[in-house]
């Protein structure tokens, strides 16, 4: 079938909206008619090939839509089902079988290859292969063939055009707080960077009853928004030293510090703002080869931990519906982060995300 899609043809080139051919879904795939898809920083990273993938390719990995058709092996999903799409995983490795698909041993081949495992692609352009299955999805297309493990069924009463970002960025931030760090009522939390992932972390921390939630950013407008989302304090790290400010607010530092920036100097600041037995989590993605240094002499006695976090330790089929419930209760007001764009204006969506004007752009089909 024909589909309108946004294609990246070469490294760091803008998205080109064009008509592609989409093949029939393979036996283990689900064909989805897209309603909307979030735009995530990771799409910009692969457009620029900081993480290399097959090119040309269709990216996009925060899709929401309606099932159009299913492959011959699919029994639990049927045409007409309303779905949000999460990350992909192999389902067979030790990590997947242990309930930790975010650490799938085959994560890269299932999310970043932009081909099926046999090397084929779902999209083509006049006979030329065009990469598909980015995060099992490739959602910058009206129609796309999706890995069944990416598919999460959603109840009928919630607006799909809003929920695509639950598939990656927002579940990463919320999952870091609720799953990875396991923040509890009364805890103190600092969130470094208040983009989409950091904003989701702040909403989740507020929902779980953390009583001191400190947002750190360099943009005052974002810090004001963080207060609306549940932050109790803000620090502008351009004008103030965040480590000193956090100690001023908390006395001995925070139980949990989450770095969503991927800036290695910020990761160190996050570690230095911990209380005794605190944990720093890293969800931002520094370029491969990046290194962080930590003070470990004087801080040895403080028993602190550092951990990296992928996809908020979420199991999409379990965690995304939980976030939908929180949203329904008004405890995860993601609509405050969103601006919508048409597929034709996808490059504007990326520009507005980069400039910081919009926290979470959503392409609506």
Stretch that binds Zn ion, among 93-101, 196-204, 217-225, 258-266 (CB under 5 A): 93-101
148 binds Zn ion (CB under 5 A): no
Report d(CA 74, CA 68) in Å as an integer: 13
Report d(CA 213, CA 291) in Å as an integer: 27
Residue in the structure block whose two tokens are 């950091």? 198
Least Å distance, CB 83 to Zn ion, is 17
96 binds Zn ion (CB under 5 A): yes
44 binds Zn ion (CB under 5 A): no
Report d(CA 273, CA 235) in Å as an integer: 12
Q: List the interface residues with Zn ion, window 102-131 (CB under 5 A).
A: 104
Q: C-alpha 337: how far from its chain's center?
A: 14
Stretch that binds Zn ion, among 85-93, 268-276, 298-306, 323-331 (CB under 5 A): 85-93
201 binds Zn ion (CB under 5 A): no
- DSSP state, residue 161: H
Stretch that binds Zn ion, among 51-59, 167-175, 238-246, 265-273 (CB under 5 A): 167-175
Least Å distance, CB 250 to Zn ion, is 31
Which residue, 343, 292, 359, 317, is CA-closest to 17? 343
205 binds Zn ion (CB under 5 A): no
CB closer to Zn ion out of 50 and 249: 50
Which residue, 283, 243, 235, 239, is CA-closest to 263? 283
Least Å distance, CB 312 to Zn ion, is 11
Stretch that binds Zn ion, among 1-9, 99-107, 274-282, 307-315 (CB under 5 A): 99-107
90 binds Zn ion (CB under 5 A): yes
b or e along 284-297 (b: 16 or more beta carbons within 10 Å of the residue's beta carbon)?
bbbeeeeebeeeee
- Cα distances from 123 to residues 108, 132, 135, 343, 354, in angstroms, run 20, 6, 15, 17, 28
DSSP 2-29: EEEEEEB-STTPPPEEEEEEE-PPPTTE
Q: Rule CB under 5 A: choose which of 36, 83, 130, 168 binds Zn ion.
A: 168
CB closer to Zn ion out of 97 and 276: 97
Stretch that binds Zn ion, among 111-119, 147-155, 168-176, 207-215 (CB under 5 A): 168-176
Contacting positions for Zn ion (CB under 5 A):
40, 42, 89-90, 93, 96, 104, 168
């Amino acid at each position: 079938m024909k589909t309108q899609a946004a294609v990246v043809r070469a490294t760091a080139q803008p998205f080109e909206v064009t008509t592609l051919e989409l093949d029939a879904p393979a036996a283990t795939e689900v064909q989805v008619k897209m309603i909307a898809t979030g735009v995530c920083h990771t799409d910009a990273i692969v457009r620029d090939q900081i993480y290399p993938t097959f090119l040309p390719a269709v990216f996009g990995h925060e899709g929401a839509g309606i099932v159009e058709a299913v492959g011959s092996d699919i029994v639990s999903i049927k045409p007409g089902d309303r779905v949000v799409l999460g990350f992909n995983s192999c389902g067979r490795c030790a990590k997947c079988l242990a309930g930790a698909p975010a650490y799938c041993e085959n994560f890269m081949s299932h999310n970043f290859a932009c081909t099926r495992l046999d090397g084929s692609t779902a999209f083509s352009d006049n006979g030329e292969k065009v990469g598909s299955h980015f995060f099992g999805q490739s959602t910058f297309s009206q129609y796309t063939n999706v890995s069944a493990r990416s598919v999460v069924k959603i109840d009928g009463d919630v607006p799909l055009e809003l929920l695509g970002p639950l598939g990656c960025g927002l579940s990463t931030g919320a999952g870091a707080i609720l799953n990875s760090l396991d923040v509890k009522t009364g805890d103190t939390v600092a969130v470094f960077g208040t983009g989409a992932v950091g904003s989701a972390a702040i909403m989740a921390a507020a929902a779980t009853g953390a009583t001191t939630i400190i947002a750190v950013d360099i943009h005052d407008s974002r810090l004001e928004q963080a207060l609306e989302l549940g932050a109790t304090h803000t620090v502008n790290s351009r004008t103030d030293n965040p480590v000193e400010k956090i100690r001023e607010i908390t006395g001995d530092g925070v139980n949990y510090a989450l770095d969503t920036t991927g800036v290695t100097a910020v990761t160190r600041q996050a570690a230095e703002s911990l209380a005794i037995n605190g944990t720093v989590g890293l969800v931002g993605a520094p370029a491969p080869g990046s290194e962080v240094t930590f003070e470990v002499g004087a801080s040895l006695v403080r028993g602190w931990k550092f951990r990296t976090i992928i996809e908020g330790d979420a199991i999409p089929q379990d965690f995304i519906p939980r976030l939908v419930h929180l949203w329904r209760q008004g405890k995860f007001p993601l609509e405050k982060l969103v601006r919508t764009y048409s597929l034709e204006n996808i490059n504007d969506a990326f520009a507005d995300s980069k400039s910081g004007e919009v926290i979470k752009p959503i392409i609506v089909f």
